[in-house]
Structure 1
Amino acid sequence: MQATAPRTLVSARALTTPRGRVIYWSVLVAVIVLFTAVFVFPLYWMATGALKSSGELARTPPTIFPRHPHPGVYREAWQRLSLGRYLLNTLVYAAGAWLLQLAVCVPAAYALSKLRPVLGRAILGMMLATLMIPPTVLLIPLYLTVRDVPLLHVNLLNTPFAIWFPAAANAFSVFLLKRFFDSIPRELLEAAAIDGASSWRILRSVVLPISRPILAVVSIFAVVSVWKDFVWPLLVLPDSDRMTVSVAISSLSNQTPENILIAALVIASVPAIAVFLLFQRHIMAGLTAGGLKG
């Protein structure tokens, strides 16, 4: 039976003509430029808004380019809002949440994928069901739990553990890791077991080295999730010295000029954007990895 060619908006015959190629590339470039502008323009507007004076920011219609740039506003924002301290706080919270999430989610996903426990599918289904619950619904139960940990009766407010523990178990990370572990050939693990390796040794020496793409994806999601979170740190870290950078900027916004406030937002956004740009290749590789060839 002869295979049929895939149907597309532009036929292969039309692409062989000069007019067809011109139309195709013109539309393609226009679409790419349009989507790029839609996503990049807010970042440009934020970065250039910090360079404008307060009067120019309030001008109507707004100016696209700063008429009299003030690059020193970034240094003033750093010093005036003490961004270094709050960025360090956020880095500590993000690093701890990342390590705890890997420590909890990786063994859980490995057990559900390769060890096949009793009622494993039901457990995974209940985990995924939690993704359907709006995060705001969980704020009060989580807050009450952190304020008085069951059985231990410990108050974790104003401590990094209030950020770390809720971020440790993430159903979406477990799902991503399990799907990747499912693609690892069972023969590879059975060969390691025949050599006398335990389940923990197989996970550490066989599974993790070939799971770097998906581990990078989970790591980036964990760090960025803590970095951009606002409501939860606002609730559990009321002490001004322990605030995250987003909460600190919001709390100081009433007494800060608009251009300095925008400059602080730019500085706070740089680490997350840099992480994405540096590891975007790993994100695509981890999300599209569907299997390993034996």
Structure 2
Amino acid sequence: MSDTRTLVNPAQLNRTLYRAALILVVVAFTLAFLGPLYLLVTGGLKGTTESIQTPPTFYPHHIEASNYSDAWSRLNIAHLLLNTLWYAFGALAFQLVLDVAAAYSLSKLRPALGNAILGLMLATLMIPAMVLVVPQYLTVLDLPLIHQNLLNSPWAIWLPSVANAFNIYLLKRFFDSVPQELLDSAAIDGAGPLRTLLSIVLPMSRPIIGVVSIFALVNVWKDFLWPLLAEPDPTRQTLNAGIYSLSLGVPENVLIAASAISAVPTVIFFLIFQRSIMSGLTAGSLKG
């Protein structure tokens, strides 16, 4: 039977349809992710009446760029930004020390019931965060054993963020890939567990430590409910909670501009470190 000739090669047609479908999917997801950011930024450029108009306008008919400067000054965003940086980097410091120690112990020191402890840690990831708000608040209100009230102090933000089961799991998974021969060689040379961790394991773990650091900073930055409860004083709150607390009497368009300002650092942070995030998440083996 002779081959049937057509104007369009079926294989070429399939490739064209595949590329067209791929482009449509990529465009749809791009619009889904960038659309809210576009509406947020342009909403801060609208006048008061236009910002509450129904249905909303797709673009500002009369641009009022002064909304951003008004939001910066009226909501004291510079001070709230410093608060957020203080809480975020403090939480990062505690997480790097305690989560790295916990992951290294579970991975290389192999304590008794280590697998059971890890399983219980991972089980906490199945609990919705909202369920933990009340017991967590009661804990910082009257810290067990020492009976200290941690409200309106940085410890109310730092301590709950320390035991991060997801970060411990990421670190342990990476530590598991470190060859045991390196640790045995260090032990033969007289290095103890702490010296081995500081001199051998941590220098090899920069990718995953970078990922954990990014997650720690972003988690504190984007959190809203807990800083609002743990820091009742608006002057001590994080950026998102402080904007909400100081929003009384502030026009809608100025609040939208303030929300856009608060989103800028995390977007820039992700764009700068996206390669580090992906490389750290996929780092689980060592090249010889």
Identity %: 58
Structure 2: gaps of 5 or more residues: 1-7
Check the 8 A contact 1:15/1:21 in 2, yes or no.
no
Check the 8 A contact 2:153/2:231 in 1, yes or no.
yes
Check the 8 A contact 2:234/2:246 in 1, yes or no.
no
Q: Secondary structure at the match of 2:79?
A: helix
Structure 2 residue aligned with 1:229: 223
> How far apart in 2 are the matches of 1:83 and 1:45?
21
**Between 195-204 and 100-109, the greater mean CA deviation after superposition:** 195-204
Choose from 180, 183, 190 the match for 1:186: 180
Q: Secondary structure at the match of 2:149?
A: coil
Structure 2 residue aligned with 1:216: 210
Runs of 4+ in structure 1 displaced over 3 angstroms?
Answer: 14-18
Structure 2 residue aligned with 1:152: 146
Alignment length (residue pairs): 281
What is the letter of the counterpart of residue 135 of structure 2? P
Q: Secondary structure at the match of 1:65?
A: coil
Pair 1:185–1:15, CA change in 2 (3 A): farther
- Is residue 262 of structure 1 aligned with residue 256 of structure 2? yes
What is the letter of the counterpart of residue 148 of structure 2? V
Q: Secondary structure at the match of 1:253?
A: coil
Pair 1:71–1:15, CA change in 2 (3 A): farther
Residue 73 (structure 1) shift? 1.2
Structure 1 residue aligned with 2:5: none
> How far apart in 1 are the matches of 2:233 and 2:56?
38
Residue 173 (structure 1) shift? 0.8
> How far apart in 2 are the matches of 1:61 and 1:134?
35
Residue 148 (structure 1) shift? 1.6
Pair 1:191–1:38, CA change in 2 (3 A): same
Residue 43 (structure 1) shift? 0.4
Cα-to-partner distance string for 1:41-74 (whole Å, 9 max, x where unaligned): 0001100110111222233332222122111211
Residue 16 (structure 1) shift? 8.6
Choose from 21, 39, 45 the match for 2:39: 45
Residue 214 (structure 1) shift? 0.9
Structure 1 residue aligned with 2:271: 277
- Is residue 22 of structure 1 aligned with residue 20 of structure 2? no
Choose from 64, 69, 87 the match for 1:75: 69
Structure 2 residue aligned with 1:246: 240
Structure 1 residue aligned with 2:4: none
Check the 8 A contact 2:227/2:237 in 1, yes or no.
yes
> How far apart in 1 are the matches of 2:202 and 2:228?
35
What is the letter of the counterpart of residue 214 of structure 1? I
TM-score by length of 1: 0.91
> How far apart in 2 are the matches of 1:155 and 1:195?
47
Q: Secondary structure at the match of 2:248?
A: helix
* Structure 1 segment 166-185 matched on structure 2, within 5 A: 166-185=160-179
Cα-to-partner distance string for 1:191-244 (whole Å, 9 max, x where unaligned): 222222111111111111111111111111111111111111111111122111
Cα-to-partner distance string for 1:240-265 (whole Å, 9 max, x where unaligned): 22111111111222311111000100
Structure 1 residue aligned with 2:283: 289
